[in-house]
């Protein structure tokens, strides 16, 4: 009997495990040693993200030196893992020495073959005393005085002094403990120093010689290997790029200037996350067209002086354009929310977009809102989207839930009761697994919040410090999860040994099976919780269908969708410089939009039918005569039946 139980449990475990990794294991790199080093982190990467999609991986050269320039750097140590597991090549990253010296992170960095980099901001010190600017001096004198300072002990030539309002000056010569000569004093810096007679506090950031780092990168490229760099210099949680450092451009030019037969390909790589700081977030990594450094640029770099600076700037401009072509950026959070809202309204209700198509549309809307920000049509559309978002907030629902409020009261009440029951059983199933794994979630959340607060205090560019949260959740889980499973297994083994009639061998086998089932059950509970939360989110529109009048909201959405369609039809050809190019680039055709309008009108009249039901009814009636529309409608209807 015991053998039969073991056999059944083992069979169930193997089926679940094989199914999970069959559908979730991402591409790997082509380095066996690196694959082995990454193996412990992959399950947590898979659990941390519900979906990671790669676009344009075919563009990556399979041989020869490649410089991956990656941005925006929104997810600290998760970003390198995503690139390594989806690029198909072994990549050595530049890693801050401050992080490299941490045991666990350094261990992972060494497995990746990372190159440590001393960042000036990591070794900056609080200045002793205060800086001031004597009225007797002028900015032209380039002298900065100190109060209670020890310049001779703390400062050297090329040290940067940073103070109030992001002002800074670079030291040229230390004259005494209270006086230094600087490279230049900007008007803003001079004004701040002059206004504070009692002086201002400052930070001293020493100059760092990066020759060893550049030599290591050049050696890797000469060996035909790949190097990854985040040109923003550090992770952040902003909606746009930080100013890019010139290091990527210098690396490529320096390597090619030393070896005339070397052809370094620069691959701009965009990372687009959806709620990067949360568990089960989604991501798209997109690889752009490789950038080739020309011989003319290499020759200009060799000449030095102004020609060298011009060559570096040219390559950096090309890199920035390449990065913007594979990412979605916005000037602020509110604009990003507008972009995403406009994209949702533009999507026909009968179409299911893939995650990479979603990112593509976000990017196109970002371009429209950026390049035509002053166009009256765009301004009017943005104002109406803001108004609609405000109305959604007052109703307490999301845009994708609006059309679900069209049910009649009786149908909505029945669906509401059924979904409450469904949510109850899902959470009953998930509860034991959630309780068993609660210590992991609680500890990971607490530590990640602490690390985010610390990162925010130490940074002048972060907004909330969210860029470090997912990293620390994964790192904490890597440590806590094995310890927790070990404790559970020891408790279970001790219980069997003391309270059962099992032999020692049976106790060991049972404990191994128990450990495996605990892990699988935890993953199953997590998935059940996800579905349960989705069901709970669907209750609000059903509640509104029963107890509130939402027709105004549905009509407003339908009108706004038509306006956005009109705006894109008018602005699109101007964005692409020709109507033909615009039409060829569209993933949502005009006939899709027309068909969506028909469906919305029918749903608003029908009251009791879902999108899929309206599509099927429309097909059967013979009204859907357009070939493309009919085909897509049938696909949606079939998908709907499968989902049911």
Q: Please give the distance of CA 38 from its chain centroid, rounded to a whole number.
A: 20
Q: Which residue has the higher pLDDT, 514 or 597?
A: 514
> Cα–Cα distance between 59 and 68 in angstroms, integer?
12
- 1-116+213-326 CATH fold: Glycerol-3-phosphate (1)-acyltransferase (3.40.1130)
Per-chain mean pLDDT for the chain:
80
pLDDT in tens, 588-631: 888 888 888 787 777 766 655 666 666 666 565 655 544 444 44
Backbone angle region of 290, left / alpha / beta, with phi > 0 → left and psi within -120 to 50 → alpha: beta
pLDDT at 208: 86
Domain boundaries, the chain: 1-116+213-326, 124-207, 333-405+549-624, 409-547
The stretch 443-459 carries a mean pLDDT of 88
Task: Tell me if 467 sits within 8 A of 237, measured CB to CB.
Answer: yes
pLDDT at 222: 92
Question: Are 346 and 589 within 8 A, CB to CB?
Answer: no
pLDDT of residue 5: 43
Of 44, 12, 3, nearest to 520 by C-alpha is 12
In this model, does residue 229 exceed pLDDT 90? Answer: yes
pLDDT at 611: 61
pLDDT for 632: 45
Using pLDDT thresholds of 50, 70 and 90, give the confidence band for residue 312. Answer: very high
Mean pLDDT of 558-577: 88
- What's the confidence (pLDDT) of residue 152? 92
Residue 38 has pLDDT above 60, yes or no: no
Higher pLDDT, 530 or 483: 483
| 300, pLDDT greater than 90 | yes
State the pLDDT at residue 254: 92
Question: What is the structure's pLDDT at 11?
Answer: 42
Least confident of 315-329, 363-377, 402-416, 455-469: 402-416
pLDDT for residue 640 is more than 80: no
Q: How confident is the model at residue 636 (pLDDT cuts 50, 70, 90)?
A: very low
Residue in this structure with the two tokens 């570096």, named with its chain if needed: 312
Distance CA 130, CA 611 (A): 67
525 pLDDT more than 80: yes
Fold of the 124-207 domain: Thrombin, subunit H (2.40.10)
569 closest CA partner among 550, 591, 539: 591
Q: Which one has a higher pLDDT value, 253 or 53?
A: 253
What was the pLDDT predicted at 318?
93
CB of 144 within 8 A of CB of 133?
A: yes
Read out DSSP for 585-612?
H-SS-HHHHHHHHHHHHHHHHHSS--HH
Strand partners, 163: 167
Mean pLDDT score, 396-423: 82
Rounded Cα distance between 219 and 225, Å, is 9
Residue range 205-218, pLDDT digits in tens = 998 888 888 888 99
Tell me the β-bridge partners of 581: none
Q: Is 116 helix (H, G, I), strand (E, B) or coil?
A: strand
pLDDT over 50 (residue 19)? no
Q: Kindly compute the dihedral angle of the four CA atoms of residues 508, 510, 516, 522, in this order, to the nearest 10 degrees.
A: -130
Weakest-pLDDT range from 14-18, 516-520, 632-636? 14-18
Q: Computed over its alpha carbons, how large is the radius of gyration of the chain?
A: 29
Helical (H) or strand (E) element with 160? strand 160-163
Average pLDDT over residues 388-413: 80
Kindly tell me if the per-residue pLDDT of 639 is higher than 80: no
Most confident of 23-32, 321-330, 503-512: 503-512
Kindly report, residue by residue over 166-183, the tens digit of the pLDDT.
788 889 999 899 899 888
Task: Confirm if 331 and 342 have CB atoms less than 8 A apart.
Answer: no
Grade residue 518 by pLDDT with cuts at 50, 70 and 90: confident
């Amino acid at each position: 009997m015991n053998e039969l139980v073991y056999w059944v449990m083992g069979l169930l475990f193997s089926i679940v495990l094989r199914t999970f990794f069959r559908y979730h294991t991402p591409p790997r790199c082509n380095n066996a040693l690196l694959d082995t080093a990454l193996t412990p982190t992959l399950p947590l990467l898979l659990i941390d993200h519900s979906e990671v999609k790669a676009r344009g991986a075919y563009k990556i050269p399979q041989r020869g030196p490649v410089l991956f320039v990656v941005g925006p750097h929104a997810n600290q140590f998760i970003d390198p893992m995503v690139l390594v597991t989806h690029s198909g090549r072994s990549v050595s990253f530049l890693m801050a020495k401050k992080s490299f010296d941490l045991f666990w992170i350094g261990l992972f960095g060494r497995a990746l073959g990372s190159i440590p980099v001393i960042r000036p901001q990591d070794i900056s010190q609080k200045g002793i005393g205060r800086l001031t600017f004597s009225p007797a001096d002028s900015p032209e004198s380039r002298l900065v005085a100190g109060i209670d300072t020890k310049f001779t002990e703390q400062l050297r030539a090329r040290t940067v002094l940073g103070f109030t309002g992001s002002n800074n000056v670079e030291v040229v010569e230390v004259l005494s403990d209270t006086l230094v000569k600087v490279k230049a004093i900007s008007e803003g810096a001079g004004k701040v120093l002059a206004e504070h007679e009692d002086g201002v506090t400052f930070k001293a950031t020493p100059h760092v010689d990066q020759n060893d780092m550049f030599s290591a990168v050049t050696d890797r490229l000469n060996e035909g290997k790949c190097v990854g760099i985040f040109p923003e210099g550090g992770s952040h949680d902003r909606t746009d790029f930080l100013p890019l450092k010139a290091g990527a451009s210098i690396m490529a030019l320096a390597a090619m200037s030393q070896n005339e037969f070397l052809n370094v390909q620069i691959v701009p790589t965009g990372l687009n996350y959806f709620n990067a700081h949360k568990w089960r977030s989604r991501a798209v990594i997109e690889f752009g067209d490789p950038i080739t450094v020309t011989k003319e640029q290499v020759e200009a770099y060799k000449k030095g002086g102004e020609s060298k600076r011009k060559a570096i700037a040219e390559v950096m401009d090309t890199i920035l354009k390449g990065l913007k072509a594979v990412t979605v950026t916005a000037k602020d959070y509110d604009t990003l929310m507008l972009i995403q809202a406009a994209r949702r309204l533009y999507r026909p209700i009968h179409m299911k977009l893939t995650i990479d198509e979603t990112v593509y549309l976000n990017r196109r809307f970002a371009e429209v809102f950026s390049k035509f920000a002053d166009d009256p049509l765009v301004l009017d559309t943005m104002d109406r989207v803001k108004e609609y978002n405000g109305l959604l907030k007052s109703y307490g629902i999301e845009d994708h839930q609006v059309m679900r409020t069209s049910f009649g009261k009786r149908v909505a009440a029945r669906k509401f009761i059924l979904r409450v029951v469904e949510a109850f059983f899902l959470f009953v199933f998930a509860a034991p697994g959630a309780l068993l794994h609660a210590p992991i979630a609680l500890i990971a959340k607490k530590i990640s919040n602490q690390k985010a607060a610390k990162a925010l205090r130490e940074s002048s560019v972060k907004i909330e410090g969210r860029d470090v949260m997912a990293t620390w959740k994964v790192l904490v889980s890597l440590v806590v999860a094995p310890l927790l499973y070990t404790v559970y297994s020891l408790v279970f083994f001790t219980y069997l040994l003391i309270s059962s009639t099992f032999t020692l061998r049976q106790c060991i086998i049972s404990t191994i099976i128990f450990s495996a089932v605990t892990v699988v059950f935890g993953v199953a509970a997590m998935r059940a919780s996800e579905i349960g939360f989705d069901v709970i989110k669907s209750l609000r529109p059903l509640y509104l269908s029963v107890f509130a009048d939402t027709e105004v909201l549905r009509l407003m959405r339908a009108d706004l969708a038509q306006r956005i369609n009109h705006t894109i039809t008018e602005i699109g050809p101007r964005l692409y410089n020709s109507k033909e190019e615009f039409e060829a680039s569209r993933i949502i055709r005009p006939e899709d939009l027309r068909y969506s309008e028909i469906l919305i009108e029918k749903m608003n009249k029908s009251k009791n039918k879902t999108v899929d039901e309206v599509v099927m009814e429309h097909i059967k009636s013979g009204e859907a005569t357009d070939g493309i529309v009919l085909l897509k409608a049938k696909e949606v209807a079939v998908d709907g039946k499968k989902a049911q």
